[in-house]
Amino acid sequence: MKISVAFQPVVRLDNQALLHYEMLARVPGHPQAHRELIRHTEAAGIIYLIDQQILRHAHRTLREDTRDQLRLAINVSADTLNRIGPAYLAQVLALPWAIRSRMMIEITETAPLRDLAFIDHFVVALEQADVAVGLDDLGAGHFTPREIRRWRPTMVKIDGGLIEDLLYGPNRELEAIKEAANDCQATLIAEYVDVAEKIPLLLAAGIDYGQGNLIAPAQSQPAYQPKEFSNG
């Protein structure tokens, strides 16, 4: 199974400055098929093959970035950690420091994590190796503020559904996530920033970073250009 990758920028919402790119799996020649790819490989228990390929892509991309400009976030699914967690961790730790210190690993919990003691070790081992850890999809998957407090990630990504709710007023679940993230000095990132109306609401809510098609869709190259947003 061969995949390609796409890069979607995560930026500061107040000035559109780049934070990093999320490196995403794509199916060559089928730009919209990635959701199916993730769903089917997860169901078949082989998403670890995708996660490992993405890790290799990230290594290669960062190695080729000789000007030290790129910072990349990649996903690792709970299923991968359940099946080959120690081997995956060993692969990350085997990367040269100059590479791995430019990476963030986002744990995506579309399935429950089985061995929480291993995840404790996984997170600490990555942090000690200067690999940032993120928790993905807060508000949509299995993660809750309890996991934020347990693993104290560098970054917490908030699912688009909760961000959408901001348009209709304060949200208790979002407040609990924010409180846990602030207590742990975790940076909050809003996903699915797709309309300009969300940006002032996010900033007012203390969520300083975001990603989504309004900012820039995923592209085949990491070539983000900041742009002005208009509410009109």
Partner 1 sequence: MANILCVDDSPTDLHYLVQILTNAGHQVITATNAKEGIDAALSKKPALIFQDIVMPEGDNGFQAIRKLRQNEASKDIPIVIVSTKGQETDKIWGMRQGAARYLVKPVKADEVLAAVNELVA
Residues that bind partner 1 (CB under 8 A): 12, 17-20, 68-69, 71, 97-98, 101-102, 104, 128, 130, 132, 154, 185, 187
Q: Which residues contact 121 (CB under 8 A, 6 or more apart)?
A: 89
Residue 185 CB, shortest distance to partner 1, in Å, is: 6
Torsion of CA 39, 41, 47, 49, to 10 degrees: -140
Per DSSP bridges, beta strands 18-26 and 4-12 are antiparallel
| Angle, CA 218 vertex, CA 217 and CA 221 arms, to 5° | 125
Residue 84 CB, shortest distance to partner 1, in Å, is: 27
List the one residue out of 149, 118, 162, 153 whose CA is nearest residue 135.
153
Cβ closest to partner 1, residue 68 vs residue 230: 68
Residue 129 CB, shortest distance to partner 1, in Å, is: 9
Residue 56 CB, shortest distance to partner 1, in Å, is: 21
Cβ closest to partner 1, residue 11 vs residue 24: 11
Cβ closest to partner 1, residue 87 vs residue 223: 223
How far apart CA 156 and CA 207 sit, in angstroms, is 10
Cβ closest to partner 1, residue 71 vs residue 198: 71
Cβ closest to partner 1, residue 165 vs residue 208: 208
DSSP state of 175: H
Block residue for tokens 């949509």? 140
Structure tokens at 101: 């210190």
Residue 17 CB, shortest distance to partner 1, in Å, is: 6
